[in-house]
Amino acid sequence: MSNETLPAPFAHYTLLEKIAVGGMAEVFRARIQGAMGFEKTLVIKRMLDTLAQDDEFKQLFMAEARIAAALSHVNIVQVFELGQEGPFLYIAMEHVHGMDLARLVQKTRTMGDFPLPLALFIICEVLKALAFAHSAADAEGHPLYLVHCDISPQNMLLSFAGEVKLTDFGISRAAFQRGPQDVIRGKYAYMSPEQVEGRALDGRSDLFSLGTVLYELVTGKRLFKAKTREETMARVRRAEVPSPRAHRPEISEDLEAVMLKALDRHPNGRYADAAEMMEAITQVVLREGLRATNHDLSVYLRSVETATVTEKAPESRPAPRPLRGPAPVAVVVMAVEASLPPRAIASPRSTLGVLSQEWGGLLAEAGGEIWESGEGAALVIWTAGQGLRETMGRVVRTGQNLSKLTARAGFRLSAGIAPGVVRLMPDTRRPAEGWELAGPFYLARWMMNLSAHRGRILLTEVGKDQIDEPCTLLGRIPIQGARFINIHELG
């Protein structure tokens, strides 16, 4: 049946398009129709012709359906039905309109580094699925001790709506399978050391596999993949992990520590469970301003898809205009203004125009980009390409040097520093309209105005956590409901 012409009827479905073929099944996009025009698109996973009479694979196939059907979670692909049509077992499951992570990485290979905020968002969404699966219980409340065993980019589905869903529990192992493995199944380059050695597994094996995915996603380098299966397995057994920062200096020491802990050769050296690993990543995201949302992922996926279509469009045909969907970028914003000290007696030793020119030279040397400027005032942006900690340190040192330079000219500096995440439009290299009074730009200006009454540099708690300079908590400002942002004074 694998060579039938599509569309084709199958059971009470219509097979529309073959999506993929794996070692155990072929996957189709399908449709089911009902009364009064009801219609739903879904996916049919059907056992291969060659395995239809193989009892072992039939058991694996049915186990996948039963396990996945018991896991009702927003980050896990939903299973609707396990059925049989003639000799063929099939699973009807949720259709995720988008692409898998492997395909996304392939499409963006020539587009530069994968955005860190989106990488961490995707990994955290998968961790939510794993936290749920690892703690799943049967109908009597007994823990199943599920281990997915095939965590890989191919099994992470990303929808154009910005959803992240884990799929393919075909070789997952439950409580009754917790002993040593007789047959090793899965993708060797993403296995844990204990999995390639056939030892007993628990949820920490999946965390190692997910750590491998994260490493490859943010560095663009394969971690354990070799030319042969034997060498790949040998590399996994050794679990020697080069520094991620050697491939991408933008990765902070804190994020690197999270990745290396997940990739510890020994399970006891890793995170105890998915929730602990997710908490560690969340802390990095909050400290370094790397937050991303479902909306950010949606915009990014659609922009990648549009860009791909544009590249493939014939020269004689006008290419569709790409969607404006830039990925989030971590930045540090500094707003500065010079003013006369209160009750000044002596006249300034320079003019604001001359002082602004001197500022320009100092800021250029420090790698800052002046987005707005006037006599004795500027809004300066640094892209955190070398990691937020290093960038914050440079910005703070620059602020201190600006303060000294301003004081020598007979003025006093007011300054606010705020890290954040923005989306820069490809044509203007600025955020969307209204950016001036949004996010870190507004916050930096607000702190600059507050600083005018104190004469010291102010920064947010996220910024304070990235530097070694002594700071004093000045107060907090409300942002949403009961949420607040703590403001700190440097020195």
Catalytic member of 150, 206, 264, 465: 150
Neighbours of 453 (CB within 10 A): 9
List Cβ neighbours of 404 (8 Å cut-off, separation of 6 or more).
none
> Rounded distance, CA 69 to CA 90, Å?
13
The answer to whether the beta carbons of residues 351 and 340 sit under 8 Å apart is: no
Q: What is the pLDDT of residues 60-79, one digit of tens each?
A: 778 777 777 778 899 999 98
φ, ψ for residue 401 (rounded to 5)?
A: -70, -40
Predicted TM-score (pTM) of this structure: 0.65
What does the pLDDT read at residue 321? 45
> What's the pLDDT score for residue 243?
95
Would you write out the chain's pLDDT as a tens digit for each of its 491 residues?
555 688 889 999 999 998 887 767 888 999 998 777 788 999 999 888 777 777 777 777 787 777 777 788 999 999 888 888 888 889 899 999 999 999 999 988 887 889 999 999 999 999 999 999 999 887 788 888 889 988 999 999 999 999 999 988 755 554 334 444 444 455 899 999 999 998 888 999 999 999 999 999 999 999 999 988 899 999 999 999 999 999 998 899 999 999 999 999 999 999 999 999 999 999 999 888 888 889 989 988 988 887 665 555 555 444 444 444 566 788 899 999 988 776 555 667 778 888 888 898 899 889 999 998 888 889 999 988 778 889 999 999 999 999 999 988 888 899 999 998 888 887 778 887 777 777 788 888 888 888 876 778 999 888 888 898 899 888 776 654 445 678 889 88
421 within 8 A of 330, measured Cβ to Cβ: yes
Separation of alpha carbons 326 and 328, rounded Å: 7
213/150 Cα distance (integer angstroms): 11
Residue 138: active-site member: no
**CA nearest to 395, candidates 473, 430, 447:** 447
pLDDT at residue number 326: 63
Instruction: Give the model's pLDDT for residue 179.
Output: 46
- Report pLDDT for 239: 94
Please, are residues 161 and 294 in contact by the beta-carbon 8 Å criterion?
Answer: yes
What residues does 413 pair with on adjacent strands? 338
Termini Cα distance of the chain? 74
